[in-house]
Structure 1
């Protein structure tokens, strides 16, 4: 009879891979190996090296098959484990199973109930989202900024203008002008129909006294204005779609009709299934990795269920928070990536446990208490890093963070509850429907390409480190020229009516017409419309201002509004410089000693404020994340240099992502590869959001690789061998995981929305760099150069640091908990298997 303790010792050692094997080892690579020294178990000694486990078909266990055979006839010595596990011997003597063990066992035994609960939760949340879901909205305002103060004054003095405007843009065809009676009648009739739409409080016709300047000089382009009684955040997407549909209906052979306005944002988003493409590519990678259709289907199934619930929760949260319209796609991007990897990790450990002879129930408990613990650790790391976005105090970032956290939290919970239930249904049939052509044999770690590669790098550490660092700095260099701004309708696909309207207005009225500067003024004890005359004169005298409208007083006479149109486009650097110059010099000089208070707002002003707001806080945010990661790795690895290098390498990976994004958004042939043909500014929140996401994801890679290196170093005391063996054990896993992550992220590059393109490019680049240049070159070379100093920790600090293990419980602890569960089954008369 085979002693199961030896197998559990092996699983304990394999558990040191847990954190990264979120990105699971392909089944054809699953081998059972132990340290070369024998392991003493009480009075029994087993050979520490077990034969490789092949993928022969597994026989079904008998109904009374136990996870631990002959439980009563084996001694339980206090020093049953090696020195690495003696620290847990006290805990293993305790008989009560941990919460995670009880959760895994309950999910396995009550699998039908668990499945019903998850299906019910999915149906309920999808139904609730359809019936009670809120609308997404995206207002890029910054608290306390000059543009926000201008908006507050508009809402107080101009309620009609505090609501959003929608411009109906007309262009004549067939050589006609707007002066043609038939064309003029068609425009008036069209505006009348638009005026009857919900929440349209007023209509300004280009033929009315108020709209005389709404006809372009060539008189082929004109626009009417629809005054809404709601702001962007309140205006329903259904109402926006109704306006767009009416515009299509009114378009005629002699008159083109298009619509423009922030209130229409999101109403034309195409239903492009980036999620579907990402899932398809991930399924192919899983199929090659596992070689089994059944094993491949589990990660996809759990990810889809978790994603369905997570996205439904985001829709419901839109009733309470400001959730931007691209939040579901970002959440899906992260949720699919981590969800598949989490399940992949646990399924791989489950299959490895089955191959050692454990029954399904014991294999489920073992995989959840090792791999599942790592999943929870990794998931919480991602969640904490995303919640760090709250410190920026921006409404849409809070909604984005909560949305992404919802997706990660649901897939994490599904991985440790729904997955054990599904494994209970499948049992030992996990390898059914195998594809024999992908069932390759492993050649052994010391003969693997990754081991030989590590040795080459370690023999030449300085050249390897320098070449890698130069390559990374070359990728980072373009980040210095990142142009921050806010993409507008001019960056939308040409199939959007808002893009066509944008182009028509720019062609008819000048490039700055799409980015008006709203100058809002109040005057102490004076008539604001009269008091702002010096302000209007100063604006008109500025060389970069194309036109300034006459001042308009609010109904209560307390607020005046001027609209200034720049000569340059809204995204041009010249326009941003103009905003700063007006605020710093022109407006203060014009109002000095007059008692007039002026604030400059509008979309362009808000974009400038947001860029400054984020830039002022980005350093603090990144610094806080770096310090947090340093302290966490300091506790985990009990080393000063290892967490310091990890922080620097994370910065290099993120910096490379910034550089690649900066190159792509310049357009040209490189940007054209991802559908960006013209230069696009980078929203200031994108780098910050990318950093928060990548911090959590890259931590998994870091801890996984360094945990294995540290384990080998503790066993052998040889730093060079530990680095090579650690890299050999993890290289295949890192490659498989990176392939899944990159495929999911790149799928979103195909989406038409430029936000998603930027995020997808950045995340895919960072994961690629992290898994190749950093982990395969920079880590082994720097570890070789520092030698034993890698693991140095001052003695006083070592005594004060808590001990923390991400790899889970020892084999003895798992064995004791399994035995306790089986004794409980015996007492209840439960048959397992």
Structure 2
């Protein structure tokens, strides 16, 4: 590998303009593709296959009016007083104007909604009065009907008795001789009696008909009253259920409006979001202050912000101090910009065909800048040292690429492995994020190995300042005078003695003089720093995580103060109702379900809000007691899901959860479950790579244990600042809460890769000294002395770049920037520059032990460039090609 990279570096140094032109073409193609095909990014962290996504899909198919994004607008009076009638009318008019914005499906006006609730309550009260009056009227009619029924029954009995008497008389007459005077007289008398009885029967039937009509009217009235009573009961239960869901505060000083979009919030363009804000911001003239929720004001289209620029500026200052010339300091920055331009540009070009979260290009940018500067710096620094030692220009470039470039290649490979392994988590947005960052790091490695040698050749001797050249000339003259009269072997021995003497000084010398104390102190310190990590809680960011002066934070805090923090994170429950219900039955069942849901701990309100036309799908809104990222709300999510089985058995209704609050819990839990296998894969693959690089068992194990210490300490720092609020004023953490849910898995991948970077550069120097014949313990000091300055500078640069993201315009990037900056600080200065040299000094020669059978099968990748140490022959034609450029560079 070292020899191949040597040839690549030499080719790049000889074919300067070909290499530069190639990269210019690549940049042009990628930039054009990004300009033509760049689409919007989002903060959609839905996970396919989760219940949240299944319920969202169900709503989209069966109740489309309930799908789409929702944003909240919070109104307050500018003077802190209650709203005036004029202000209420102005808010209503402004909200109505928002419906003209593309993508806006409708609005919920807080004052109209409150008025409708009041009208509904009044109608219920009026209905109850009418019901009471009707019941009283029916109650008054009931005795009359009962008396009439009794009288009719008594009359019917008398008529029946009279008819029976007449029928008996007829039987008696039938026994008399036919035609006899007695029979004729009796027959006439019976006929007269029957006629009189029939008249009475007809009179009775009229009364019966009148009673039947009255009874029917009474029964109809009774049925109507029963129906109205049921309707009023449902209306009253509905009103009671919605009583705690307020849109205007009780003191009339704050109001919540909602904007309903026809598409998901991630699909709403920044232009339409801004148009919504513009239409509502006109309320300033009415003395109304407007604060928008995070969903409305969040604009993830901007990748680079002011804070990031400051971080890069600090890195540039470090480079200038280290390299001493603007030309040399600018080269690593230029290389990083080229790598980031190609990597992030390519990432953005794919946003039209790949769903990509906003943090994907941000992570690629963050890492591309950091590793791009560092990788180029390692090669530039090696080249400068070789030039000062008198090596020919292009030979120095080639050997720097073959040695430091070799370390860069394997260091970059560990980062790429760690990032690409995010695909095994089964989480789509993480896979895209990891691949985008891995591709950018890989491009940064290619830039360092090709464009950096070409630019070094073009720069010539200007890579060192005149002061550095002059100082080196004086030192060389003095050195030659001191070694005058000695042969080459004696000179090499004298130089090595001086080098060994110098290696006993400084931090490396101090650590190796007291290795046990250094090792124990460093480990104990990291364990103490890691203690807060035991309380790590994960969630996705909400409005409470935004900067205090932001509109999103104001909306979040005002809502919490006036309506309860639970209003910031409602939970959507989707119910599947049994078939065969009429509307009243479905409404009653929905209220029964809401009653059951309201019984769950830390649920403030549970309200049925919508039902499909076929009465089979219903939507309920749950308002938890606390905010969306709180522990109690997470528990509410679990309790609601556990309640599904009891609802199924008791009410024949199955439920599922959706909405952002439930989705956040799903994402956090799936990310937590993905951590152990991901860590095992990353560490396992990288251990194999490090065994290949260092040809040792203990050095890779030491590197991995050191990484784990760095990791838990970084977690401890993140929890202390972002969850506990320590130093919150410094890091702009106004509302401490749960840690970003995908921070741990990204931190593991990125920090492991970067930690192995420093391990490769520190340990390869030690390996190089050991391979060249030094005692194992002395090799630790020598390697540390040579690598420490550049690793220190590289770490400071990386910390500076990451620190710039601590104050990023994207809030979710901030804890990630802090975690990476703090993790690199600990890993570089405590683990790699304290624990590793102390442990390796104690291990001595055993640090480089490798089983004989493994030694035979491992290929020799020659990361320290031992094969290049004796490489001195340069083809004549190559020397001829070198001369013109070198002359031009010197001029």
TM-score strictly above 0.5? yes
> How far apart are the structure 2 equivalents of 1:660 and 1:257?
36
1:615 is displaced (CA, Å) by 1.3
Deviations 1:96-121 (A, max 9, x none): xx765564455334433433443344
Q: Residues 607, 112 of structure 1: CA spacing in aligned structure 2 closer, same or farther, 3 A cutoff?
A: same
Q: Return the match for 2:432 from 399, 416, 419.
A: 399
1:664 is displaced (CA, Å) by 0.8
Query: Which runs of structure 2 are paired with 1:211-610 in the superposition (5 Å)?
Result: 212=117, 213-260=246-293, 262-266=295-299, 272-432=305-465, 434=467, 445-448=499-502, 451=505, 453-527=507-581, 531-584=589-642, 586-592=643-649, 594-610=651-667
Greater alpha carbon shift after TM alignment, 478-487 vs 231-240? 231-240
1:477 is displaced (CA, Å) by 1.0
Is the 2:325–2:464 contact (alpha carbons within 8 Å) kept by the matching residues of 1?
A: yes
Is the 1:705–1:730 contact (alpha carbons within 8 Å) kept by the matching residues of 2?
A: yes
1:621 is displaced (CA, Å) by 0.6
TM-score normalized with structure 1 length: 0.81
Is the 1:349–1:371 contact (alpha carbons within 8 Å) kept by the matching residues of 2?
A: yes
Deviations 1:165-201 (A, max 9, x none): 12233223457645x4322321221012100001112
2:108 is equivalent to residue 204 of structure 1: yes
Is the 2:767–2:864 contact (alpha carbons within 8 Å) kept by the matching residues of 1?
A: no
Q: Return the match for 2:878 from 797, 822, 825.
A: 822
> How far apart are the structure 1 equivalents of 2:725 and 2:654?
44
Deviations 1:288-336 (A, max 9, x none): 2112222112112222233233332232222122322233333222111
Q: Structure 1 or 2: larger helix share?
A: 2
Aligned residues: 733
Query: Which runs of structure 2 are paired with 1:608-757 in the superposition (5 Å)?
Result: 608-666=665-723, 668=725, 670-716=727-773, 718-757=775-814
Query: Which runs of structure 2 are paired with 1:142-153 in the superposition (5 Å)?
Result: 142-153=47-58
Q: Residues 779, 360 of structure 1: CA spacing in aligned structure 2 closer, same or farther, 3 A cutoff?
A: closer
Is the 2:571–2:661 contact (alpha carbons within 8 Å) kept by the matching residues of 1?
A: yes
2:96 is equivalent to residue 192 of structure 1: yes
> How far apart are the structure 2 equivalents of 1:101 and 1:252?
69
Q: Residues 429, 569 of structure 1: CA spacing in aligned structure 2 closer, same or farther, 3 A cutoff?
A: closer
> How far apart are the structure 1 equivalents of 2:726 and 2:600?
37
Indicate the residue corresponding to 1:73 in structure 2.
Answer: none
2:822 is equivalent to residue 772 of structure 1: no
> How far apart are the structure 1 equivalents of 2:253 and 2:671?
42
> How far apart are the structure 1 equivalents of 2:265 and 2:870?
57
Structure of larger gyration radius = 2
Runs of 5+ in structure 2 lacking a partner?
Answer: 118-245, 477-494
SS of 2:352's partner is coil
> How far apart are the structure 1 equivalents of 2:805 and 2:22?
31
Greater alpha carbon shift after TM alignment, 676-685 vs 99-108? 99-108
Q: Report the RMSD for the aligned CA atoms in angstroms.
A: 3.2
Q: Residues 184, 506 of structure 1: CA spacing in aligned structure 2 closer, same or farther, 3 A cutoff?
A: same
Deviations 1:239-283 (A, max 9, x none): 212222333233334222232252542269796323321221122
SS of 1:215's partner is coil
Is the 1:374–1:808 contact (alpha carbons within 8 Å) kept by the matching residues of 2?
A: no
> How far apart are the structure 2 equivalents of 1:681 and 1:304?
34
> How far apart are the structure 2 equivalents of 1:760 and 1:777?
24
Query: Which runs of structure 2 are paired with 1:772-811 in the superposition (5 Å)?
Result: 772-808=829-865, 810-811=867-868
Runs of 5+ in structure 1 lacking a partner?
Answer: 1-11, 16-97
Is the 2:609–2:620 contact (alpha carbons within 8 Å) kept by the matching residues of 1?
A: yes
Deviations 1:415-474 (A, max 9, x none): 233223322322233224657999897995434476465455445443332222111100
1:228 is displaced (CA, Å) by 1.0
SS of 1:217's partner is coil
> How far apart are the structure 2 equivalents of 1:99 and 1:452?
35
Is the 1:160–1:227 contact (alpha carbons within 8 Å) kept by the matching residues of 2?
A: no
SS of 2:605's partner is strand
TM-score normalized with structure 2 length: 0.76
Is the 1:327–1:400 contact (alpha carbons within 8 Å) kept by the matching residues of 2?
A: yes
Deviations 1:760-818 (A, max 9, x none): 221122222222222333223322443433233333333333333223472388555x4
1:674 is displaced (CA, Å) by 1.3
> How far apart are the structure 2 equivalents of 1:458 and 1:99?
35
SS of 2:110's partner is coil
Indicate the residue corresponding to 1:40 in structure 2.
Answer: none
